[in-house]
Chain A
Amino acid sequence: MAPVGRARAGVILKHLIPEEDIIPGVSYWLNSTCSECPAGCGVKVRLREGNAVKIEGNENHPVNHGGLCARGQSALQALYSPARIQTPLRRNAGGRMDPTGWKDAFDLIARSTSASGSSEKVVVVTSQVTGAMRAMLERFAAGSPKFNFFVCEPLDYAPVAAANKLCFGLEAVPTYSFDKARTIVSFGADFLETWLSPVSNAHGYAISRNPTNGAMSRMIQFESYMSLTGANADERYCCPPGVETLVALSIASRMLSGTALPASEWETWRSALRPFTIERAAKAAGVPPQVLEQVADRLRSQTPSLALAGGPSSHSTCATALQVAVNLINFSAGGYGKTLTFDRAEHAPVGTYSQLLDLVEDMEAGRVSTLIVHECNPLFAFPEPERLKTAMKRAPLKIQLASVRDSASESYDIVLPALHWLERWDKVESRSGVYSLQQPVIKPWCDARHAGQALSDIMAVLPDHTTRMPEDYQQFLRERWENIPGDRSASEDSDDFWKQVLTDGGYWAPPVSRKVTLNARAAEAISDFAPMVSLSGEHVLLPVTTVRYGDGRQTGRPWLYEMPDPITLIVWDTPLLISLGTSKKWNCQSGDIVRLKCDKGFLEAPVYVQSGTHDAVVAVSLGAPSDKYASFYFEPANHPLHRLRGDIDKFSGALSWVGTPLTFEGVTGHNRLARLQGSGRQDGRGIAQTIATTEVGKLGKASRRPATLEFDLYPKHEHPVHDWGMVIDLSVCIGCGACAVACYAENNVHVVGKNECLRGREQSWLRIERFIDKGRTVFLPALCQQCEHAPCETVCPVYAAVHSSEGLDVQVYNRCVGTRYCANNCPYKVRRFNWFTYKVDPPLEKQFNPDVFVRTRGIMEKCTFCIQRIREHKEIAKDEKRRLRDGEVVPACAQSCPTGAIRFGDLKDPASQVSKQMDDPRGYAILAELNTQPSILYLKRVYHADGTVTETL
């Protein structure tokens, strides 16, 4: 067994006497379903000695197909968060929260509600819940007019559902099949980051990017700030926020002419769309009209095509009109049934802002007696926090039910600890017909209850609510699992079924086919469209969501703090993103704290000059690093959602995110931003390489590790059994950073803090570099290249850096004396030095992988292709008396990749996937001229030669 850090040994090996089922040194995998966002990816969790140490995507799951985003992986840091609510808390007379017991808490609830009148409401405000929990809440709501529940998600898809209701009579969000699309036109949707189901989207997108068959998809993005999706786009057009609607309508108008529709409907649409000419949209968007014409023609000619809209700037007062336009485009291009379908609906319905306003009015009027907030923070998402706070004060009893403290926990009367989703049984249905399993992977370590159970227990003590409640949520859940609708054959034994569910991570009912017909009444959403106010001369606020903090709930996760934003490459902070033009106008530089006036006060935060930002936009990402591990954390001085004016899209009732004007008031200070990329200039270094689609076919055969020298001073390394190698396809790397976080989790990589990052001492073994080559953005995962002719090995005076017989450059931690010569001599700069002994706040250390040394001060460390995983599988193969199979060993980075850009295998085995790909003509080794002979082959990013060109990062 690999040694563990001395200081933590006692914690990691706490089960010296094996508990039932736990064999020290053997890892177990259990399936569950991620609840970090409503997408509901299937996951499997690795258990060692009773601790959950790694979370990965479930390959069998129809949503994510094995990948998992950074936020999902960081769930372990919420499971073992120092901010977990460990016992029920109640507010004492002094206003502070005191620990109490469950019984006392329920007594208190019963006491305080019996006083209030029975005519008042009980309201549950919850984050997205599906499946069994939703069924229970619906049952409550059906059983009592006084019971209400409200699903509060900052990222709602209400305009999509509203538009589909108008167009097709289906109030649902379809599933999007990017894999089948040849043309993808996105109006602001950051579908590779947070929009709808990002891992699923990225998986499909990568399939559509296959450059070998000549049908690589083309992705066209209209947006007003630089999103990761926009950076990946073949064509990216930067237009003012809100103008996407005009653009989409003009494209729809052009495409409508050839659409098969009944004459009367055709006329309705035509008259509705008449004002939206290409010229008008092109003028508003600031792009040549030919571009929009071309996009419209491509959507129709390069089929199957897919248009989608979403993302921050589409959250406008005309959000539904935009979605209707997109529906029209997809309908005209014949996308329904091919690239998007209602056979499975994505996301159960979510409460809208106007419903939330109703709730607030109810509270203000004193009509709410009990407010129960489950795993969400309305104060985070509501644009008028003071109003909400005052309204909440009118409710006599406010209960929070959450696993991790959030920034509003202080404002409740009672805080009840809920089980983390990794500690509970549940049934989740994030897509209709996809019944995903949640099961407890560890023994709960807090005095917490299942949220469903706690809710039902609360209901039981409330007056007039006792009869209709399921007493035991576990029993209720079992019934849900047993009564899955669909054509599950009756003969199937329920035990067998259950075993299958446990193995697969759920049960996927066959999709229900649903055809769509266009309803011309939807045209009213368009004809009522009022163009946005002119933006000339002023700036508007644009709240944006990123892969790092998502919609703001994952703010308490150290891994995410230290994961650089893929676009700005800044860790920890979330600065205001402005354009170069704005920075010149304001005479400020990156890092300067600016004060911006808006209707509701001020916004004060450091700026970062990001190319690709529209001159009229100040983009602010949701979420901020919290030193107290709180979720939904925000800086009051720069939380964008609190500056919104509260405009509503009247068709969907959704909150508009666009339209808060900002006035510059001056620079008030400076805050150094920790940007990890030293420089983005390649200057002919050829580190990140690209190739046009037209050139791919002309490439000759590449040979692995081009040997530049025949003579070698030292004898060649022998690899008798294995020679590990990796292929990274830059064509499908979208830069999401999931691999980097997977590496942190797998290899116990330390999080060092912003100040250390500022000094260039981040510990990441794997990083995503962002470069421009031939005007195309390339995301390049950089990790140890495991050179065959490694510069680090020869210079180590004590043989701490040595070459293994399997072609790995390994680092012997307890041999390292810390000369750091190896790191100087590494041209890829992928070695990391432990400048200090870094600490983690307990109980986060429970997540540590016991197979990997926890490094202390003075030790050099680096990627080893997850040598512990290689060992584990070699030993399993040895026990089973067989050879290792290709694909059996998967390093953490390759496993997490939603797009399958990272491939790993044995180069000694000519039949392995990597061996075959080593001959890919797109292949190149980074800095091959140094004769380091890397074991990683990069495949050049393929681009459409006629796409748009980016000059600067």
Chain B
Amino acid sequence: MTNEHTRDRFEQIDRLVLRSLLRPGKLYIAFSAVVLVCLGLGVFAYSRIITVAIGVTGKNNPVHWGALITNFVFWVGLAHSGTLISAILYLFRARWRTSINRIAEAMTVVAIMTAGLFPLVHMGRVWRAYYLVPYPNSRELWPNFRSPLLWDVFAITTYMLVSIMFFYVGLIPDLATVRDRSNGLVKKVYSLLSLGWRGSNRQWHHYETTYLLLAALATPLVISVHSVVSWDFAVSLVPGWHSTIFAPYFVAGAIFSGCAMIIVILMPMRKFLGLENLIEPLHFSMLCKMLIFMSLIITYSYFSEFFVAWYSGNVFEQHSFYNRAFGFYSPLFWVMVLCNSILPITLFSARLRSNMIYVYVVAVCVVIGMWLERFVIIVSSLSQDYDPYAWGQYWPSIVEWGITLGSFGMFFFMFGMLTRIFPVVAMGEVKSQLRPGPGDAGHA
């Protein structure tokens, strides 16, 4: 390896990655326009909840939670893969992560922000949200620490803060690169953001230590956050919710949907930002293997839920799962099984795995399947629980569909903004993984 060659490669990477920070192309503007329209529709739909009441949604007695909580769990789930790929794979020294971890982390940050809005939207009277915050007040009223919803408040907040921190720390060397290649006001801003990074050995040493520690801190959070979210359901006594497997089941599902969403985002980005040299089929193959693994876990969970319901001899459990598979919501259930349990298994075939279009289709299906999974768990369990008199049906109203669409708009809009501001690939890390000589795409 000669210094000159390396410098050329480094230069190449910088140019390649930083292209997205240049003047936006027509495609980006068109994309932004579409997602902004979606976001606008979502905001309009939400304004109905504010000005009229939460009754404009389709919820009722007994289904008091519906599409909005489904969205909450869905977006929290998506927020998992980022930290998984960054932190856990980092700790496991899986070097292939370097070219995709930035995108995954950005997705985490954006998804958790989207998710965090949904409990507020769901409440209806958002101006009362501060009642959930433990703040000193003259009435000496504190929130109820027995309630899983309060655990959520802490879990989500913690996860969001740590994710943002982790994202930001990883960015520092790359921000310095941007600073070095910009001028004027932009340079000043990136100077501030890069916290005086000079790339000295000492700084690299501190940086590596911090990153490792943060990775170690974030890893248990990946497990804990979605466990807490799952306890919103598992701690209750609704048949179909009240289950001890919910924590691992939800964590696996979260990672599953997160990996799928990364594929969904990564593949067009790679193409439109010209990152084919950095994000290679190998990465997709690796992500597909994770999909297969997670799919097996959640398929086992589905099976286990049904088995336990049957084996328990408990009429309420039995009915709940019978209703899930054969009741009003059964079409959604079977679509979910197809998307989450059958399609991902086909990726065992290396030939299919290397077919980018097929992989993309499967990934989109998994994202849809995981949304349906949450919907089916939440809604079908509530719709027929203990007292048959109170059984009912729920279907999201146009307002809920609008807000759901708006959340996708918000997610993609924020994600698009991030790609304009920050380098989409962790250049520093990619550079560290470079091997001498040309044609050295393979690792590990």
Which residues on A are within 8 Å of B, measured CB to CB?
A: 676-685, 687, 714, 756, 759-762, 767, 769-771, 782, 791, 794-799, 815, 817-821, 823-825, 827-829, 831-837, 857-858, 927, 930
Report the Cα distance A827→B316, complex, angstroms: 11
Q: Is B277 in the interface zone, CB < 8 Å from A? A: no
Q: Are A829 and B146 in contact (CB under 8 A)?
A: no
Given contacts A761-B55, A818-B124, A857-B55, contact A795 B235 (CB under 8 A): yes
Report the Cα distance A820→B378, complex, angstroms: 13
Residue of A nearest to B153 (CB): A797
Given contacts A817-B129, A825-B237, contact A683 B315 (CB under 8 A): yes
Report the Cα distance A682→B60, complex, angstroms: 22
Q: Are A835 and B132 in contact (CB under 8 A)?
A: no
Q: Is B65 in the interface zone, CB < 8 Å from A? A: yes
Q: Are B125 and A817 in contact (CB under 8 A)?
A: yes
Q: Are B124 and A857 in contact (CB under 8 A)?
A: yes
Q: List 5 A-B pairs, minimum CB-CB distance, nearest first.
A: A678-B391, A835-B55, A829-B390, A820-B64, A760-B60
Residue of A681, A771, A820, A833 most packed against chain B (CB within 10 A) = A820
Q: Is B416 in the interface zone, CB < 8 Å from A? A: no
Q: Are A679 and B389 in contact (CB under 8 A)?
A: yes
A773–chain B nearest beta-carbon distance, Å: 12
B97–chain A nearest beta-carbon distance, Å: 37
Which residues on B are within 8 Å of A, measured CB to CB?
A: 52-55, 58-65, 119, 122-125, 128-129, 131-132, 141-144, 146-150, 153, 232, 235-238, 315-316, 319, 382, 384-393
Report the Cα distance A815→B147, complex, angstroms: 15
B129–chain A nearest beta-carbon distance, Å: 7
Q: Are A714 and B132 in contact (CB under 8 A)?
A: no
Q: Are B143 and A819 in contact (CB under 8 A)?
A: no
Q: Are B125 and A833 in contact (CB under 8 A)?
A: no
Report the Cα distance A927→B389, complex, angstroms: 14
Q: Are A825 and B238 in contact (CB under 8 A)?
A: yes
Q: Are B54 and A829 in contact (CB under 8 A)?
A: no
Given contacts A760-B392, A798-B132, A815-B131, contact A824 B65 (CB under 8 A): yes
Q: Which residues of A contact B148 (CB under 8 A)?
A: 795, 821
A817–chain B nearest beta-carbon distance, Å: 4
Q: Which residues of A contact B143 (CB under 8 A)?
A: 797-799
Q: Could you say which of B124, B144, B315 contacts A685, with CB atoms under 8 Å apart? A: B315
Residue of A nearest to B397 (CB): A759
Q: Which residues of B contact A829 (CB under 8 A)?
A: 61-62, 385-387, 389-390
Given contacts A795-B148, A824-B238, contact A677 B389 (CB under 8 A): yes
A678–chain B nearest beta-carbon distance, Å: 3
Given contacts A677-B389, A769-B389, contact A799 B144 (CB under 8 A): yes
Q: Are B389 and A760 in contact (CB under 8 A)?
A: no
Residue of A nearest to B319 (CB): A683
Residue of A nearest to B383 (CB): A678
Q: Could you say which of B131, B149, B391 contacts A679, with CB atoms under 8 Å apart? A: B391
Q: Are B147 and A794 in contact (CB under 8 A)?
A: yes
B8–chain A nearest beta-carbon distance, Å: 58
Report the Cα distance A794→B143, complex, angstroms: 11
Q: Are B123 and A818 in contact (CB under 8 A)?
A: yes
Q: Which residues of A contact B236 (CB under 8 A)?
A: 791, 795, 821, 824-825
Q: Which residues of B contact A834 (CB under 8 A)?
A: 53
Q: Which residues of B contact A683 (CB under 8 A)?
A: 315, 319, 388
A704–chain B nearest beta-carbon distance, Å: 21
A6–chain B nearest beta-carbon distance, Å: 15
Q: Are A819 and B382 in contact (CB under 8 A)?
A: no
Q: Are B386 and A827 in contact (CB under 8 A)?
A: yes
Q: Are B388 and A682 in contact (CB under 8 A)?
A: yes
**18 extra A-B contacts, CB within 8 A, seeds A714-B146, A829-B386:** A679-B388, A679-B391, A681-B388, A682-B388, A687-B387, A760-B392, A795-B148, A797-B144, A798-B144, A799-B144, A818-B128, A820-B64, A821-B64, A835-B54, A835-B60, A857-B125, A858-B128, A930-B386
Q: Are B386 and A927 in contact (CB under 8 A)?
A: yes
Q: Are B53 and A835 in contact (CB under 8 A)?
A: yes
Q: Are A858 and B388 in contact (CB under 8 A)?
A: no
Q: Are A827 and B55 in contact (CB under 8 A)?
A: no
Q: Which residues of B contact A818 (CB under 8 A)?
A: 54, 123-125, 128
Residue of B129, B147, B389, B392 most packed against chain A (CB within 10 A) = B389
